[in-house]
Amino acid sequence: MATAYVALGSNLGDRWATLAAAVRRLRAEPGLRVIAASKFYETAPLNCPPGSGDFLNAVVALETERLPEDLLQLFLRIERSFGRVRAEPNSPRTLDLDLILYGDRVVDTPNLVVPHARFHEREFVLAPLVELSGKVGRDAFHPVLKKTAQELFEPFVARYGDASVPRPRLSVECREPPRDLAGLRALVTGSTGGIGASIAAAFEERGADVIRHGRRAKLDRAERFISADLRDAAQVDRLANEAWALLGALDVLVCNAGVDTLTGSGGKRPFEDKLDALLAVDVKSTIRLARNVGFRMKTRGTGAIITIGWDQAETGMEGDSGQLFAAAKGAVTCFTRSLALELAPEVRVNCLAPGWIRTAWGEAAGPVWQERVRRETPLGMWGLPEDVAAAAVWLAGPSAAFITGQTIRVNGGAVRD
């Protein structure tokens, strides 16, 4: 597994949004893992046509088994997907992706030079590269010049003693996200990590008051968090009562909590134990909590409930995990439709059915699974927890006012017969 460093740049269009989306796109790519990403730095254009705008630049550190030549082709495809048009040299661009280091590998071909031929002369690459050294745990090293990124950057730093010498400027995103969930009160179960944490964070960003839930202890008195083991029906009821009382009512419930039967000790349990755990948490607690909160919402006259299913629950997947999740998540999907009929028109109830989402299991999945994601997903990449969160924000908000009883697949277009 090699550590590679990629420089990103943009000086056309919404530069911040482009770089942020490019980092997300790299995080979603099968066969590589983003270890760390730098902040964004703004610099004046270098050797560009007159009138060119300032650049935003960043560097991303990757772990990958893919060859440098393969990465080059990937970066070219990503650039094209962001509207990159290659005209005259150094012309303005929506997105630039350059492979600057690949372990200690030296490549010199007509199509690819690694280390990048000029990155050691470019402070807009070195500044974010040096920033990453602490995050990656080791400094990037130039295998030809035999210097670390910090050593390469020192001549530039020495010049900054002169206040007239410009330096890369940290760029801070100041735009406020839409507040389309402002005033809504939400409970998101299983929200200490993964998809649940992303949904809770997205709700908060959009203005909602959110209660998070998990099995861990509450970290401090100010934390808006309720601890409950959803295998216990009494604790499910307590969670509903405490959340309702804490916020005065609930406008949104996301039943995201689920048992991990894929990683760690959970993945080593016998089939029957996994089935019992999935039925207890993924199915029974979802049904109990959604009914408890849902009928209170109906009495109040408003509310939205989101359950979490699985995109292959209806089509099926081979293997023990396929059987387990089809049974559990299929039940959740069907229950969602029935509850939607029961609680309409006051309460909307929908199910999100994620596909190949890069959670903890996806990060550690081997090459066979990485290739399967690429093969089975028309978009050719992993989904991210943020993708599920974006769909949850939509279902919870006013834009989905005419949507109930539906299963929304968040799976990159994957369809199985």
268 occurs within a structural domain: yes
Counting the structural domains of the chain, the total is 2
Together in a domain, 160 and 222:
no
- Omega prior to 115 cis, within 30 of 0: yes
Together in a domain, 124 and 89:
yes
Together in a domain, 122 and 236:
no
Kindly report, residue by residue over 7-61, the tens digit of the pLDDT: 999 999 999 999 999 999 999 999 999 999 999 999 888 777 776 788 999 999 9
193 occurs within a structural domain: yes
* Whole-angstrom distance, CA of residue 233 vs CA of residue 240: 11
Together in a domain, 109 and 239:
no
Active site residue 288: no
Together in a domain, 166 and 206:
no
Which residue from 330, 356, 320, 337 is spatially nearest to 403, judged by alpha carbons?
A: 337
Q: Which residues of the chain have pLDDT under 70?
A: 51, 87-90, 174, 416-417
Active-site residue, selected from the candidate residues 25, 84, 206, 348 = 84
Which residue from 168, 128, 165 is spatially nearest to 150, judged by alpha carbons?
A: 128
179 occurs within a structural domain: no
Give me the pLDDT at residue 87, please: 63
Give me the pLDDT at residue 23, please: 97
Contact partners, residue 252, CB within 8 Å, separation at least 6: 181, 184, 185, 186, 187, 203, 208, 303, 304, 305, 306, 396
Together in a domain, 221 and 358:
yes
Together in a domain, 106 and 200:
no
365 occurs within a structural domain: yes
178 occurs within a structural domain: no
Pick from 138, 171, 204: which residue ends a domain? Answer: 171
177 occurs within a structural domain: no
Active site residue 229: no
Give me the pLDDT at residue 162, please: 82
Active-site residue, selected from the candidate residues 15, 27, 33, 93 = 93
Together in a domain, 23 and 132:
yes
Residue 90 belongs to domain with CATH number? 3.30.70.560
264 occurs within a structural domain: yes
Active site residue 98: yes
Together in a domain, 158 and 200:
no
Together in a domain, 84 and 230:
no
SS3 string, 141-208, reads EECCCCEEHHHHHHHHHHHCCCCCCCCCEEECCCCCCCCCCCCCEEEECCCCCHHHHHHHHHHHHCCC
Beta strand 96-102 pairing with 113-114: unpaired
Give me the pLDDT at residue 176, please: 80
180 occurs within a structural domain: no
Active-site residue, selected from the candidate residues 66, 98, 122, 209 = 98
Residue 349 belongs to domain with CATH number? 3.40.50.720
Give me the pLDDT at residue 90, please: 65
Together in a domain, 246 and 137:
no
Active site residue 93: yes
Pick from 171, 198, 213: which residue ends a domain? Answer: 171
For residue 322, give its domain range.
185-410
Pick from 121, 140, 171: which residue ends a domain? Answer: 171
Together in a domain, 149 and 223:
no
Give me the pLDDT at residue 51, please: 67
Alpha helices, DSSP H only, in 28-122?
68-81
Q: What global pTM score does this model have?
A: 0.89
Helices and strands in the chain, H and E counts: 12, 17
Active-site residue, selected from the candidate residues 15, 25, 27, 96 = 96
Kindly report, residue by residue over 218-259, the tens digit of the pLDDT: 888 889 999 999 999 999 999 999 999 999 999 999 999 999
